[in-house]
Chains A and B, each alone.
Chain A
Amino acid sequence: DAGVIQSPRHEVTEMGQEVTLRCKPISGHNSLFWYRQTMMRGLELLIYFNNNVPIDDSGMPEDRFSAKMPNASFSTLKIQPSEPRDSAVYFCASSPWGELFFGEGSRLTVL
């Protein structure tokens, strides 16, 4: 079975550009989570969805960040405009019940 699929795996962009990260959760999982990992702050929960509905976005840093889940098999995390401090590894995870299954992450570098 395919796991959580994230794209792109690596993204290098310049400050001010729009960045879109994509996630395909495991089929049948009805919760989806976006985490950010940095050396300074560790793993931070940005937002999570349950049955495609955003439940808690209190971790989203600011209005430059937005996330959508238009259907059960796809989610996006968008940063517009991007800043150097957004450089991090962004993980998507899906969950059937009480256990998270992580993708391999999208490493974002903003110059």
Chain B
Amino acid sequence: AQSVTQLGSHVSVSEGALVLLRCNYSSSVPPYLFWYVQYPNQGLQLLLKYTTGATLVKGINGFEAEFKKSETSFHLTKPSAHMSDAAEYFCAVSDRPGNAGKLIFGQGTTLQVKP
């Protein structure tokens, strides 16, 4: 069975500081990995995804994540936090990218950005 663990339910950074949100996964098959962001009272929006190929994936709003198979990790980073980045972030794993795939989500990490 697949699973996702997000380390740290709350992360607080200062504006302009590095953002690092941690995600580790468990999968018996090559995983497909996703990061989603949820702003208050909204649905989830895809930030980036890894399916195959290059292990460093760039997404929207300056975020990127690196797939490290040896560490079973897919951490999300952004060099410089902006106030508008404050939101909840979800890491997710799927066993297949096709239509019948379904995502298993982590518990989420709330990012607070201090001025």
Q: Which residues of A contact B (CB under 8 A)?
A: 4, 30-31, 33, 42-43, 45, 48, 50, 55-56, 91, 93, 95-105
Contact = CB atoms under 8 A, between A and B. Distances in A.
Nearest to A45: B102
Interface of B: 32, 34, 36, 41-46, 49, 51, 90, 94, 96-108
B107 A97 contact: no
Interface on chain A toward B: helix, strand, loop, or mixed SS? strand
Given A50-B99, A91-B43, A100-B103, 14 more contacts: A4-B43, A42-B106, A42-B107, A42-B108, A55-B100, A93-B44, A97-B97, A97-B98, A98-B49, A98-B51, A98-B94, A100-B46, A102-B36, A105-B41
Contacts of B42: 104-105
Contacts, number: 57
B96 to A, nearest CB: 8
B99 A45 contact: no
Contacts of B46: 99-101
